């Protein structure tokens, strides 16, 4: 199967330029990372004062608050908020459903993945790519630096179509990896043969913050189908015999709406971000719309 997107398309200067002004801001990143631009829970040598603690032998004397010592006669150290990087784990869905239509959703998905990689790398965060379908595969190890972008583009352009979607198995494996807690960006259509329940159950087990990028199409809700049809699921092979009638179509749309609402509800309860992208349109403008003043605070 032909690649959904080429490396040249992903490493397009205009494409990358349009992402330069966007920033993903985490409220607080877990400590233990390396110095970067995200505020972390770690206290130490930073810029913004955060707290005091009693001095203990071995502490750096440059941190002693001498003014306080003069007033209180006790030695305290001044603690500052440390700025660290945010681990960003990009999980593009490469299951069969992402490659089914023309143009495939995988094209929009991989460009969105590249876009988030570029944003994160641009702000010194570490980025890893784990594609998934019926299982998880490690596409790009977490790494930082703007200079890594060509490698990401190259790597994403080589992604191939997988089998059926299995959120449970894929995210279980992802959760089992010894990764620093960060932001997991799941780029998918979220069509799992097990239904939305299987998807949400799997995502609940992810200990990272979640950003869900849902790839949709207008035809998802308004399929241009007529007559007596034998609908075959491209992943599971399941067949549904249907005669397109107004009442059937209405119930179908209600089912689609329930699916979207269910995903929204999950995201709200989980305090996860949810972006719904139209796979038929350019993804960067759609992503940019979600960034207020170029920033999106998670």
Partner 1 sequence: MNFLNLPGFAVALGLVALATGLYVLQRLRVRQREVTVVTTLFWREALEENRARVLTQRFRHPWTYLFLLALASLLWLGLAGIMQTNAPTTAHILLLDGSMGMQREDSFAQAKEQLLEEAASVPAAARTVYWCGASLETLLAPGEELPLLEARLEGRNPESAPARMEAFLPIVLREQEKRFVSDNPPQITLLVYGQAPTRAEWIGDLPANVELLRRSESMAAQANRGFVAGGLGEAESGLWNRVDLSVSLATPGDRAQDALEGLEVSHGGEAWSAGFESVPSANPDIQVLRFLDVPTNGEDFVLRLSAQDDFPADDQLTLSIPRREALRVQVAPSLQELMLPLLAADPAVLVTEDQPQLLIRQDSDLGDASLPTLLVFMDDGGALFRLQHQDSEDADQLLQSAYHELGMASIDALGLATALDRPVSVDASLGTPQLGLAAPLLAADAGFTSSRSFPLLVSRGLRWLVNQPALVPYAAAGQPLPGEAGELFGSARVVGVASTITLQDQRKVHVASFDTSASLPAAPVAAAVEEFSGSSGAWPMWTWFAMVAFLLLLVEWFLFQRGRLP
The binding site for partner 1 (CB under 8 A) comprises 97, 100-101, 105, 189, 191, 193, 195, 220, 223, 225-236, 238-249, 251-252, 254-256, 258-259
Which residue, among 36, 122, 124, has the nearest Cα to 82 in the 3D structure?
36
Cβ(295)–Cβ(27) below 8 Å: no
> Is the Cβ–Cβ distance between 284 and 18 less than 8 Å?
yes
Please list, in sequence order, all residues whose beta carbon lies within 8 angstroms of the beta carbon of residue 29, skipping any fewer than 6 positions away. Answer: 38, 39, 40, 41, 84, 85, 86, 87, 182
| Least distance (Å) between residue 258 CB and partner 1 | 8
Cβ 164 to partner 1, closest distance in Å? 10
- Closer to partner 1 at the Cβ: 54 or 227? 227
List the beta bridge partners of residue 136: 132
Closest approach of partner 1 to the CB of residue 2, in Å: 18
172 or 236: CB nearest partner 1: 236
Given the complex with partner 1, which of 40 and 214 has the nearer CB atom? 214
CB 101, min distance to partner 1, A: 7
Helix (H, G, I), strand (E, B) or coil at 6: coil
> Measured from the CB atom, is 148 or 278 closer to partner 1?
278
**Neighbour count for residue 282 (Cβ, 10 Å):** 13
Residues paired with 187 in a beta bridge: 92, 213
Asked if residue 266 has a cis previous peptide bond (ω within 30° of 0), the answer is no
Rounded least distance, CB 215 to partner 1, Å:
10
Nearer to partner 1, 104 or 122 (CB): 104
Of residues 177 and 225, the one with the C-beta less far from partner 1: 225
* Cα 40 from Cα 147, distance rounded (Å): 24
- How far lies 153's CA from each of 13, 95, 117, 138, in Å? 12, 19, 9, 15
Instruction: Please report how close the Cβ of residue 246 comes to partner 1 at its closest, in angstroms.
Output: 6
Minimum CB distance to partner 1 smaller for 51 or for 254: 254
Calpha distance 179→32 (Å, rounded): 11
Shortest distance, CB of residue 268 to partner 1, whole angstroms?
A: 22
d(CA 219, CA 212): 21
CB 131, CB 110: distance < 8 Å:
no
Beta bridge partners of 128: 89
Question: Of the two residues 59 and 222, which places its CB atom closer to partner 1 in the complex?
Answer: 222
Least Å from the CB of residue 156 to partner 1: 21
């Amino acid at each position: 199967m032909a690649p959904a997107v080429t490396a040249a398309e992903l490493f397009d200067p205009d494409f990358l330029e349009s992402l330069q002004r966007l920033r993903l801001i985490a409220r607080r990143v877990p400590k233990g990372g390396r110095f970067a631009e995200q505020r972390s829970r770690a206290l130490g040598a930073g810029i913004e004062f955060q707290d005091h603690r009693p001095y203990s032998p071995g502490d750096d004397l440059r941190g002693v608050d001498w003014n306080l010592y003069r007033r209180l006669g006790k030695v305290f150290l001044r603690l500052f908020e440390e700025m660290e990087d945010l681990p960003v784990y990009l999980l593009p869905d490469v299951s069969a459903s992402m490659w089914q239509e023309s143009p495939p959703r995988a094209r929009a998905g991989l460009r969105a993945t590249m876009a988030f990689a570029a944003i994160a790398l641009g702000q010194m965060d570490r980025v890893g790519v784990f594609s998934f379908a019926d299982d998880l595969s490690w596409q790009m190890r977490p790494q930082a630096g703007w200079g890594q972008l060509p490698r990401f583009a190259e790597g994403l352009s080589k992604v191939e179509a997988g089998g059926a979607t299995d959120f449970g198995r894929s995210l279980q494996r992802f959760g089992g990896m010894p990764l620093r807690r960060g932001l997991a960006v799941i780029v998918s259509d979220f069509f799992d043969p097990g239904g939305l329940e299987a998807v949400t159950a799997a995502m609940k087990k992810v200990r990272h913050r979640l950003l869900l990028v849902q790839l949709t199409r207008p035809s998802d809700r308004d399929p241009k189908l007529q007559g007596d049809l034998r609908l075959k699921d491209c992943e599971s092979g399941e067949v549904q015999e249907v005669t397109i009638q107004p009442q059937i179509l209405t119930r179908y749309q209600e089912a689609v709406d329930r699916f979207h609402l269910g995903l929204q509800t999950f995201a709200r309860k989980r305090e996860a971000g949810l972006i719904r992208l139209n796979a038929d349109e350019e993804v960067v403008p759609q992503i940019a719309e979600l960034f207020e003043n170029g920033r999106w605070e998670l």
